[in-house]
């Protein structure tokens, strides 16, 4: 029945109810509220609840206690885990951000000049992004392998240079995991920066050229200020993504040697699925949420205000 037919055939009282219903936003957004509540809020609330229990994966009984919080936060391994996470997240965000801007600038300039290979460069960068984390870890495990077939050490041998213990040296392994994560995440930053560079008004560069600005001056005084909002939004996204990354690490190093590459997301995985400690994993998950939200709020505080845009 069409809306016109409803208007004609419905009694006056029914028409009045439908007008009130049409003007009220709550009935229309209620399905969205229900979906968000079921799929997003409920798991978060349940993790908070579990962090106040002694729940395990192999037991049915649960008692509410603060002991899980105390035990998880006072663990002697936690400071080393947080330090490894800080190195991994900080290095990944800086590396992905710088390389993302560099590749996007090269692609944009290559497209303007119609250079051959620009599309190949953009596609090659995107390939790393679509590779699953597990597969990416295996790829880099083969590259970093210290066995005779290890690609990087084979190159070093051909150059008569000493081989490097990429994955077995506790001082080098964290940098190996960092390189693999930068390789995988740079494509996402490149896509964000590419879209932001496309939106910059060309007249700004024309005015800079008239003023005699060099290419580097145009980059630092025109391009980077125009990319400020995109850079900060990208940093929020890749920070949250990196804090939650563990699939590539578990296939590359398994968190070793020792615990040199065990970041907090992998630590949570081990606590829950190897120690069966559901409550301890929940406490650490809440800690991860607090870290992610705290960093996101810090980045967001530097976003340009509406009057600055």
pLDDT tens, residue by residue, 131-151? 888 888 888 888 998 887 788
Q: Give the whole-angstrom CA distance, residue 203 versus residue 209.
A: 10
Report the candidate in 300, 279, 227 with the shortest Cα–Cα distance to residue 56: 279
Q: Is the pLDDT of residue 223 over 60?
A: yes
Whether the Cβ atoms of residue 121 and residue 157 lie closer than 8 Å to each other: no
Q: Is the pLDDT of residue 118 over 50?
A: yes
Residue identified by tokens 């600005």 is: 213
Whether the Cβ atoms of residue 141 and residue 255 lie closer than 8 Å to each other: no
DSSP code for 25 = S
Q: Is the pLDDT of residue 2 over 50?
A: no
The pLDDT assigned to 3 comes to 46
Cα angle 298, 301, 302 (rounded to 5 degrees) comes to: 100
pLDDT tens digit sequence for 92-111: 999 999 999 998 998 888 88
* Interval 58-86 mean pLDDT: 88
Q: How many CA atoms lie within 13 A of 226 on its CB side?
A: 20
Helix boundaries (H) for the chain: 3-9, 12-23, 26-36, 42-50, 67-73, 78-113, 118-130, 133-144, 151-158, 173-198, 202-210, 215-218, 224-226, 228-243, 247-252, 264-273, 278-300
Query: Who's near 219: CB < 8 A, 6+ residues apart?
Result: 105
The CA-atom distances, in angstroms, between 274 and each of 216, 256, 267 are 52, 16, 10
pLDDT tens digit sequence for 234-283: 999 999 989 988 888 998 888 888 888 999 999 999 999 998 999 999 99
Report the candidate in 202, 197, 309 with the shortest Cα–Cα distance to residue 210: 202
Question: 126-145 burial, b if ≥16 CB within 10 A, otherwise e?
Answer: eebbebebeebbebbbebbb
Question: 104-121 burial, b if ≥16 CB within 10 A, otherwise e?
Answer: bbbbbebeeeeeeebeee
Neighbours of 171 (CB within 10 A): 9
If DSSP codes are grouped into helix, strand and coil, which group holds residue 64?
A: strand
**pLDDT tier for residue 306 given thresholds of 50, 70 and 90:** low
The CA-atom distances, in angstroms, between 78 and each of 54, 71, 247, 267 are 19, 11, 20, 9
Whether the Cβ atoms of residue 150 and residue 57 lie closer than 8 Å to each other: no
Q: Give the whole-angstrom CA distance, residue 83 versus residue 71.
A: 19
Query: Who's near 133: CB < 8 A, 6+ residues apart?
Result: 184, 245, 247, 248, 251
DSSP code for 308 = G
Q: pLDDT averaged over the chain?
A: 85
Whether the Cβ atoms of residue 241 and residue 96 lie closer than 8 Å to each other: no
pTM summary value: 0.83
pLDDT tens digit sequence for 28-37: 778 888 887 7
Whether the Cβ atoms of residue 107 and residue 190 lie closer than 8 Å to each other: yes
């Amino acid at each position: 029945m069409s809306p016109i037919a409803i208007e004609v055939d419905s009694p006056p009282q029914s028409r009045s109810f439908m007008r009130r219903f049409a003007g009220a936003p709550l009935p229309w957004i209620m399905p969205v509220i229900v979906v968000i509540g079921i799929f997003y809020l409920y798991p978060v609330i349940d993790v908070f609840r579990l962090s106040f229990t002694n729940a395990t994966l192999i037991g049915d009984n649960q008692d509410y206690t603060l002991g899980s919080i105390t035990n998880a936060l006072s663990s002697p391994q936690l400071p080393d885990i947080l330090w490894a996470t800080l190195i991994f997240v900080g290095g990944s965000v800086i590396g992905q951000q710088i390389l993302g801007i560099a590749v996007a600038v090269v692609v944009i300039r290559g497209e303007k000049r119609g250079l051959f290979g620009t599309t190949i460069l953009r596609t090659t960068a995107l390939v790393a992004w679509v590779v699953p984390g597990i597969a990416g870890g295996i790829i880099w495990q083969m590259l970093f392998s210290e066995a005779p077939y290890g690609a990087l050490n084979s190159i070093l041998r051909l150059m008569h240079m000493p081989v490097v213990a990429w994955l077995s040296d506790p001082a080098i392994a964290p940098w190996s995991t960092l390189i693999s994560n930068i390789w995988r995440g740079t494509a996402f930053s490149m896509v964000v920066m590419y879209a932001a560079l496309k939106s910059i008004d060309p007249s700004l560069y024309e005015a800079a050229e008239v003023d005699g600005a060099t290419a580097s001056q145009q980059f630092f005084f025109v391009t980077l200020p125009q990319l400020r909002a995109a850079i900060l939004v990208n940093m929020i996204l890749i920070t949250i993504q990196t804090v939650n990354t563990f699939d590539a690490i578990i296939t590359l190093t398994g968190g070793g040697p020792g615990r040199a590459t065990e970041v907090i997301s992998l630590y949570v995985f081990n606590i829950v699925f190897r120690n069966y400690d559901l409550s301890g994993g929940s406490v650490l998950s809440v800690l991860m949420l607090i870290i992610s939200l705290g960093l996101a709020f810090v980045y967001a505080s530097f976003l340009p205000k509406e009057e600055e845009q």
